[in-house]
Structures are given as structure tokens and as C-alpha cells.
Amino acid sequence: MLQHTLARADLLSSRDRQITVIRRTHLCDAQPQFAGRSLDTVILQPENCDTGAGIFLPLTYVRARDPNATVVIHPSDHFIYPEKKFVEILRSLVQVAEHYPHQLALLGVPPESAEPDYGWIIPGEDFGWVGGRKIKRVHSFVEKPSPEQARKALNSGGVWNAFVFAASVETLWGMGLRCFPEMMPLFERLGGAIGTPGESEILNGIYRIMPVHNFSTGLITRVVDQASLIELDGVFWSDWGRPERIGETLRLMDKTPAFPWACLV
């Protein structure tokens, strides 16, 4: 999955402008997937402190190198097909972020069911067009819904939140200062040490006191006024964070795994 994610990123930007974050203890498992790639753009996270730190750590490095950058966040546990069509839609997200620099441009997936394991986005009014695709404002978010809340979101025209988004670095940084005021000074301290002999020591030090924040519940749901949405179309998407979803995908695509089906139960 990591290799596929890196390959999709290659279609959007050069490799020297990509940053991959993995937990330090996962390096041995992940390293073979970086064959032919430089490890200079791989950041080893000392601990898993949820997605808040998981996103602002790489943003610290991007901001140090190019504070005017526009970034795209790619989770590495998604199955996507066809990938080239998906990347076309990502380019539209980037256009939204560049045309409207204070916006967080999110990707929504048309739902197949009232899935309570996914976050939901309730679309608002039409916002504009980019690359032939409609942009919508976001009315609200529903995170960690109950089954009833998921059914209500489905009936309200909601879409799944793919946790794929584009935004300017400075917009995300400002959102972080607003939503995670006790965490962001730690990353600003790290940013000032990047490229110095003390970088590694400071990285380890800030993670010893790093607050645990979820990016979705702690930030995305609080910036509705700056959120916009493009819906995925013509692409199959599945979050493979659970084994049974792998089985569902293989059955839908009429594929047989190279291992027993029982492994996916």
C-alpha cells in the first residue's frame, strides 16, 4: 500500500518534494518499499501521537524548505482504482487550494452504505468550478458517528471523508495554531532546528511531551468556515484499515487473493 501511495505521489510532484512519515519502529518493515528511492525525505516519528502530530511533523519540514508550498495529504492504507483518474481529481484539489489559499480542499467519496466507521462530510451550497469539477462548501462534519447518525448523514446527502486534502502550508499552520495551541510551539521549535546538529535531539525531546490530538476531530471539524469539497467520481476507493474491507474489495473486483479467504475475516 505504501508503494502504491508513493507511486501516486510521483504523478503529482517530484520525489524531492515528497515527505513520508513512518513510526521509527516500522522502519525495518517499510524500508524495502523505498527501493530505488532516497530515504532523505523519510521522517521517522519517535512515537505515534495520533494524526495531529502525524500531519504537523512533516508540515514542519515542508514549511522550513518552502513556506509557500501547497501540500496534499495521502494516507497510505487506501485502495484506489484507477489511480490515474484519482490523481486527476487530486490535481483539482490542488487548484482549489491555490485559487482559494485560505481553503482546506477535501475529497469526499460518494457512500455505498451508512458506514459508521468513516467520518462524514455534509455538503453545503455550490462554491464554484475547477477543472470541470464542482466545488462545494462544507455544511458540517460528522466524526465517529453512531449507526443512526451515519444513516442520517447518508439520507442528508453526506459523503465519506477520505482524509485526503490539499491546502497551503501556511493555512494549515494557522489552523494548527488555532486548534492545537499547546502543540504548535513544539513544532515551531523543531522547525528552527532543522538542518542543525541538534535537530534529532529536539525531535526526540518534543515527542516526550507531545500532546495527543486527532486531526479530524480536533481540527477539521472546527474549520468548517474554511472547508470546501470535491466529490470523487469514476474511481473505486476503499479504506483498508480493516481486513474485512480487503475481502470486500477483492469480491467486488472478482479477484481471488493469493492467501486463504479466512485470513480476511
Q: What is the pLDDT of residues 108-122, one digit of tens each?
A: 999 999 999 999 999
Position 50 scores a pLDDT of 96
The model's pTM is: 0.92
- The arrangement of secondary structure in 2-264, i.e. its CATH architecture, is Alpha-Beta Complex (3.90)
Where are the chain's structural domains?
2-264
Q: Which ranges of the chain have pLDDT less than 70? A: 261, 265
Which long-range contacts link 130-134 to residues 24+ away (Cβ below 8 Å)? 130/92, 130/95, 130/96, 130/99, 130/230, 131/88, 131/91, 131/92, 131/95, 133/89, 133/92, 133/230, 133/231, 133/233, 134/230, 134/231
Q: What is the pLDDT of residues 32-69, one digit of tens each?
A: 989 889 888 999 999 999 999 999 999 999 999 999 99
